[in-house]
Amino acid sequence: MKKTFLLLATAILSLSAMAKTETNEPIEITRAFEEARKIEKNIKQTSFPARVYNIMDFGAKPDTPEKPCHEAINLAIIRCNQEGGGTVLIPKGTFYTGPITLKSNVNLHIEKDAVLKFDTDQNLYFPPVLTRWEGVDCYNARPLIYAYGETNIAITGKGVMDAQGDADHWWYMAAGRYKLNNGKRTQADGGRKRMLALAERGASVDERIFTPDDAMRPQFVNLYHCTQVLIEDVTFLNSPFWTLHPLMCESLIVRGVTIENDGPNGDGCDPESCKNVLIENCIFNTGDDCIAIKSGRNNDGRKWNIPSENIIVRGCTMKNGHGGVVIGSEISGGYKGLYVEDCYMDSPNLDRVIRIKTSTCRGGTIEDIFVRNIKVGVCREAVLRINLKYESREECERGYIPTVRNVWMNNVTSNGSKYGVLLIGLDDSENIYDINVSNCQFNGVTHAGENITGLTRNINIKDCTVKMAKKKK
């Protein structure tokens, strides 16, 4: 293992060192972000005719929780699609709805001061549709907003979409701390275990059909095999499960959204096997990973072999969550090309800033990760964590050796964490290598600037400062 770590005096930081932190960027990172600008130019933009379809013209009425208006909304979407596209408008007021299905050339626009509340009766979200759940192909509950194979679609507006998840609705199905003592079924009663077992033995997707009794919560937004997608400005609250789940999509922009979701598995945005993605100027406050990049779990990920690639993240704010920007764990199809810059992360309940998690169940290659200009208040564990032993007790076929390589992190400043860099490699192979951390300041560190276990090679940590936290008397 080759590594270099320059530890400067904690009490005094020279002006020259500070200048280096601000200006000295490796040429590899500069070139990478030049490439990111080329990728961004290749993202196809959405465009819609000027026609507007107000849902109230199709029978939707505000303030009627006893009569959800999803039939009216879906009728407006179908009409808009059939007439060549346009905007389906959710006007000011509070509207109650069930599942919504997007169609090509439709912009679902929720106006400022409009609130769309989704009914929590899971029977409304059946019969099931084709989706993925934790990286496994299956037929499960219809996502609250769903699209399959559509082109030029959008969800926009300054309004609020509320899935109404809480301990009594949706979240209890995850069991754990949310489990209710009222006899209602949860995923721990067998649904999730059965899904994973079916996938491990290679059962056809047609055998993987789940019902309300399986208690497998739906995603808030699941866009499957779609192109030219825009999600902009909307506030999403209290998702049953993952909030935004683009799956096998290309040319995707997520811009200016706010996600508040403290529920279990409450990820913010999970692009899975997606290509050419921009996520910018968003706010994430989540019960799980803020942004989590995926490419399928175990056999299903290897079968499709569709990596996620070319994802740009910039100008985002991350608060609570297991990780700020995460790759994995369902990453069997691999990943290439992540560009993260100009983000701010801060919360004692944010576990890691940049996190890569995988295992010998997953396999796959994760490479070309570029991170620069990140300001971190505090995080619970590590600024950079790479772990090849994630979920070591998972019941799965092992022997698929993952690789993480060519990771670059420059000009990251943190003010509180256990570690600066935490690497957990395998015991018998050097599959974490070419890791480069430079010009970073890790302040308020309680354990160590670096902690590296397992086999690694070419780990370069240089021109960084570590300031240990003062021990409490």
Please tell me the class of the 15-468 domain.
Answer: mainly beta
List the structure tokens of 239.
């998702």
CA–CA gap between residue 141 and residue 133 (Å, rounded): 10
In tens digits, the chain (473 residues) has pLDDT values of: 444 444 333 332 332 333 333 458 999 999 999 999 999 999 999 999 999 999 999 999 999 999 999 999 999 999 999 999 999 999 999 999 999 999 999 999 999 999 999 999 999 999 999 999 999 999 999 999 999 999 999 999 999 999 999 999 999 999 887 777 677 899 999 999 999 999 999 999 999 999 999 999 999 999 999 999 999 999 999 999 999 999 999 999 999 999 999 999 999 999 999 999 999 999 999 999 999 999 999 999 999 999 999 999 999 999 999 999 999 999 999 999 999 999 999 999 999 999 999 999 999 999 999 999 999 999 999 999 999 999 999 999 999 999 999 999 999 999 999 999 999 999 999 999 999 999 999 999 999 999 999 999 999 999 999 999 987 76
Q: Which two tokens stand for residue 304?
A: 């499709």
Question: What is the pairing mode between strands 335-341 and 365-376?
Answer: parallel
- Helix (H) / strand (E) containing 164: none
The pLDDT, as a whole number, for residue 80 is: 98
Whole-number pLDDT of residue 5: 42
Supply the pTM of this predicted model.
0.94
Report the alpha-carbon distance of residue 282 to residue 286 in Å, rounded. Answer: 12
**Catalytic annotation, residues:** 288, 322
Other Cβ atoms within 10 Å of 205 Cβ, number: 14
Residues belonging to the chain? 473
Written as six digits, the tokens of 183 are 């006899």
Backbone angles phi, psi at 299, to 5 degrees: -60, -40
Residue appearing with tokens 């995850």: 174
Query: Rounded to whole angstroms, how far apart are CA atoms 234 and 256?
Result: 7
